[in-house]
Chains A and B, each alone.
Chain A
Amino acid sequence: MKRMPLLLALGGPAALGLWLATRVDFVGFAQGALGLPLAVLATALISAPALYIAAAVARAAPSPGVVVAGIARSLDDAGLVVLGLLPAVLFLGATARSGKVALLVGLLALGGAMTYGLRLAFTRLFTTVEARVRVLPVFGAWAVVTLGIGATMIRSFVEGLQ
């Protein structure tokens, strides 16, 4: 399935952000369309070098180019999953009484998609059993920190709008 790099990575969160803008009072259209994709992109830019360094110290790192391509691919995968979850998110948000519940559902979907993308990145970047065993604790810690950074960025984005 050939696709333009990062198109889905940014498109999925942008579509989710546009939906949240229609459902949540304090999220504007421009903020919804740009805020979530920027948060995802910024998180990746901040955390990607740390993954390469940590994996290299664990003597399991592929080349830097492979790491960058793998992370970009996993972001696209996560964006595709966000698009696939949109019908369910739209339904759950539309039938909730409070816009905050719709926001919570949307952000949970985004977090779940990103976690799934990280799961796929692990198997793509570290292809041998030996490499996976060696790097698993490091990758696990890096994934937790990365998700935490992403959550903090999105929280700041949401709180800044209220």
Chain B
Amino acid sequence: MSDSTTAPSWTEPTAPSPTLGLVDDLLRNHGAVFDRIDAAEDPGGLARSLVTIIAVSAGLFGAALGAYRGGLQIAFSAVKLPLALLLTAALITPAFAALKAAALGRLDARRDGAVMLASLAAASLVMSATAPVVLLAGSWGVSYHGTILLVVLCCAVGGGFGLLLFARAATRGGGAARFSIALAVGLVFCAVGSQMSWTLRPFLVRPRTAQAPFIRDVEGSFLEAVDMSIDSARGRYRRPEAPLPDVGSAGEATP
């Protein structure tokens, strides 16, 4: 029982959760994030917090994508979207570390990995904030292709925010070729990220699809699909006709 001269215990400020504090810093205090990475007091704990943020926020956005079709697709997309981001980070962090090591003469893979995870965590948080928009589009019956474009826009907004954090981190503190490093990593991320998303598709599935697979068969790469589309736009077709919606998922190149 609390004394009348002291405030009740439920009004006492409690120490914020480290992960929630990190969420707040990722959204509005990038300097604090960089300081925490550079201090390296608990690199394992920081990495776990960032991976948790990515898993939860990208999972929420993925669930919103899956909700367009409903059913198992909600769980499939909630699992695949964080996986796509984390696998992409794993593939491009060595390139980032090598580019910086070549310019600075020292390897700091721990810090570079933390910067990569922080960038993706920031992007995931902003993407998850757009999940209600995707859910609203589904409930209003927006067309499949219209929803695709909306999803692309949501990813662009989130990705842009993550890119901003990454660019600040990569160009921080001066050093040779820092803008070249940021540009090179951005290009590699675009290539690997698009192919990773292509490999793990589908995320958004047409509601009338009878049975959506967890992952489609490998039908070529994202670049090959773009090449095919360019040929098609020029009137050079590689198959007699496009697959019909009711034929099934094989051969249907949908995201």
Contact A117 B102 (CB under 8 A): yes
Q: A116 is contacted by which of B99, B106, B219, B223 (Cβ under 8 Å)?
A: B99
Q: Is B188 an interface residue (CB 8 A)?
A: yes
Contact B180 A116 (CB under 8 A): yes
Contact with B along A48-85 (1 / 0, CB 8 A): 00000000000000000000000000000110110111
Q: A87 is contacted by which of B91, B103, B191 (Cβ under 8 Å)?
A: B91
Q: Chain B residues with Cβ under 8 A from A81's Cβ?
A: 95, 98-99, 102
Contact with A along B76-113 (1 / 0, CB 8 A): 00000000000000111011111101110111000000
A95 to B196, CA, bound (A): 9
Q: A84 is contacted by which of B97, B192, B220 (Cβ under 8 Å)?
A: B97
A101 to B226, CA, bound (A): 12
Which of A84, A86, A87, A120 has the most C-beta atoms of chain B within 10 angstroms of its own C-beta?
A84
The majority secondary structure among interface residues of chain A is helix
Total count of chain A residues near the partner, CB < 8 A:
24
Contact A97 B99 (CB under 8 A): no
Q: Is A138 an interface residue (CB 8 A)?
A: no
Contact with A along B182-198 (1 / 0, CB 8 A): 00100110011001101
Contact A97 B220 (CB under 8 A): yes
A96 to B94, CA, bound (A): 21
Size bracket, chain B contacts: 20 to 34
Q: B221 is contacted by which of A83, A101, A119 (Cβ under 8 Å)?
A: A101
Q: B220 — nearest CB in chain A belongs to which residue?
A: A97
Q: A80 is contacted by which of B102, B177, B187 (Cβ under 8 Å)?
A: B102
A81 to B180, CA, bound (A): 13
Q: Is A1 an interface residue (CB 8 A)?
A: yes
Q: Is A88 an interface residue (CB 8 A)?
A: yes
A77 to B90, CA, bound (A): 21
Given the known inter-chain contacts A88-B91, A120-B176, please indicate yes or no for A1 contacting B224, CB distance below 8 A: no
A interface list, Cβ under 8 A from B: 1, 77-78, 80-81, 83-88, 91-92, 95-98, 101, 112, 116-117, 119-120, 123
The 6 A-B pairs of least Cβ separation, nearest first, read A84-B98, A77-B102, A97-B220, A96-B221, A84-B95, A84-B94
